Amino acid sequence: MDKIGFDSKKYLTMQSECIDKRIKEFGGKLYLEFGGKLFDDFHASRVLPGFAPDNKIIMLQELKDKAEIVIVINSNDIAANKLRADLGITYDEDVLRLIDVFRSKDLYVGSVVLSQFDEKNVKAIAFKHRLEKLGLKVYRHYHIDGYPHNISHIVSDEGYGKNEYIETTKQLVVITAPGPGSGKMATCLSQLYHDYKRGIKAGYAKYETFPVWNLPLDHPVNIAYEAATADLNDVNMIDPYHLSSYGKVAVNYNRDIEIFPVLNALFEKLMGHSPYKSPTDMGVNMAGYAICDDEVCCEASKQEIIRRYYKAIVAQRRGKNNDVEVGKIALIMDKLGLTTEYRHVVTPALECEKRTGTPAAAIELPDGKIITGKTSSLFGCSSAMLLNALKELAHIDDDINLLSPIAIEPIQELKTGLLGSRNPRLHTDEVLIALSISAATNDVAKKALKQVRKLQGCQVHTTVILSPVDETIFRKLGVEVTSEPIYSTKQLYHKAK
């Protein structure tokens, strides 16, 4: 059974109370910037075992009568087809997914903001038209010269003033986005500028889970956040404003510290004073108070850092120019004394490949036992490992074939014949479908199929880069996968992820 390091119930109670208190302190409208994922926060659930991926949405539902949601997406991310790696979809598609999920939770989505908007960005314009045809309000926010240091220009009609004003109707306006770097804070500050010009009393707060402000700078949970954002040039730092004002150490990150003078100048210009003395003061994050087993969270964070490293070197092998990202995570691992072998499934997979002379995979089951699989004429290594794991979970003898070669051969003939595939081996999706069909008449296959749900949360390592199909299946099963940065063939062309 997985060890728990985080008390979600305590967290939800404290978080709701903290946000409600901040709304009352401003006495009017509160713009609440949600950093990270508002739901599907798988990073948080990985480094804080016990944190449910939808914790934040559950908390927000308690405030739904006074809340509306504004989703911000960076127009440059639309142009670049930026992906949410954990879901395998682009940021613009994720905006639509987010809206659907919010609505399914009875939460009101007021509008979408396209930040860094440029009239030459064809894809952003097309996305704007698409949203409007769906009946959504869309607002454009623009690049501001001198941001974030030219405060007098930013806090002016030529700065925030040129952004389109977002019409909102609720007391709590939640500003969220598909991912980091979307422009959420700038959207909040722009709204404050426009509100005060209109005589509307408003305030700002930030809900950023990471870094956890009341954990040490070198705590593995905070270091794991640096690894997760290595591509964004984010750096965890001691908040100098908090230390100067209160004599207490608090952890924040560089972008919030850099933008703090702008926020201060905005408040002072609009209200005559700033309600905050530090970037940490802006936050409403209670996550640090809900850690119930620090050792569990430290270990989970170290494992996450290694997974991030493998993800980065595979992306590098696929041709992405992310040498800096790989270098940063390598330095983080060195700082913590971590090697790839610290991930339990790495060595068994590599040893299986060395022993068999074929690509191999290894999975760590819930009881800690590690099962391997090798490539054969019938199965890829991931498929073989999957079948072996299901047999182990179902206590089925290893000599028993869950799928008969007679049943597999017609599938292979279909793939290589009619469908023109060069690879006759069954992928994980094809294995699961074949197993489902066999389960209708074979009790052993039926017994194995019932074990599939037990794979959620398991760790897997493969000695070759996974196919897009296998990546998708493992993601849907909730399996955490890493791979060596090696292709299974010597072909120059490989289908994009």
Residue-wise DSSP of 199-213: T--EEEEEE--SS-T
Residue carrying structure tokens 């004073």: 273
Radius of gyration of the chain (CA): 25
pLDDT, residue 495, reads: 54
| Domains of the chain: residue spans and CATH | 8-294 (3.10.630.10), 346-497 (3.40.140.40)
- DSSP secondary structure string for all residues of 248-282: ---EEEHHHHHHHHHHHHHHHHHHSS-S-SSHHHH
* C-beta of residue 250 within 8 angstroms of C-beta of residue 244: no
Q: Which conformational region is residue 50 in: left (phi greater than 0), alpha (psi within -120 to 50 degrees), or beta?
A: left
3-class SS of residue 106 = coil
Q: What is the pLDDT of residues 191-243, one digit of tens each?
A: 999 998 998 889 999 998 999 999 999 999 999 999 998 887 788 999 999 99
Would you say 243 and 69 are in contact if contact means Cβ atoms under 8 Å apart? no
The 10s digit of each residue's pLDDT in 380-391 is: 999 999 999 999
Taking Cα atoms as reference points, which of 387, 371, 369, 370 lies closest to residue 379?
A: 387
Cα separation, 202 vs 471, in Å, equals: 45
Q: Residue 266: pLDDT band by 50, 70, 90 thresholds? A: confident
Q: What angle do CA 46, 47, 48 make, to 5 degrees?
A: 95
Q: Is residue 492 pLDDT above 50, yes or no? A: no
Q: Is the pLDDT of residue 494 over 50?
A: no
Q: Is the pLDDT of residue 489 over 50?
A: yes
DSSP class of residue 166 equals P
pLDDT, residue 237, reads 95
Confidence of residue 88 (pLDDT cuts 50, 70, 90): confident
Question: Quick one: how far is CA 223 from the chain centroid?
Answer: 16
In this structure, of 341-350, 365-374, 436-445, the range with the lowest mean pLDDT score is: 436-445
Q: How many residues does the chain have?
A: 497
pTM: 0.85
Q: pLDDT tens digit string along 294-327?
A: 999 999 999 999 999 999 999 999 888 678 899 9
Give the pLDDT mean for 58-75.
93
The closest of 283, 351, 334, 329 to 18, measured between CA atoms, is 283
Query: What's the mean pLDDT when you consider all of the chain?
Result: 91
- Do 221 and 213 contact (CB within 8 A), yes or no? no
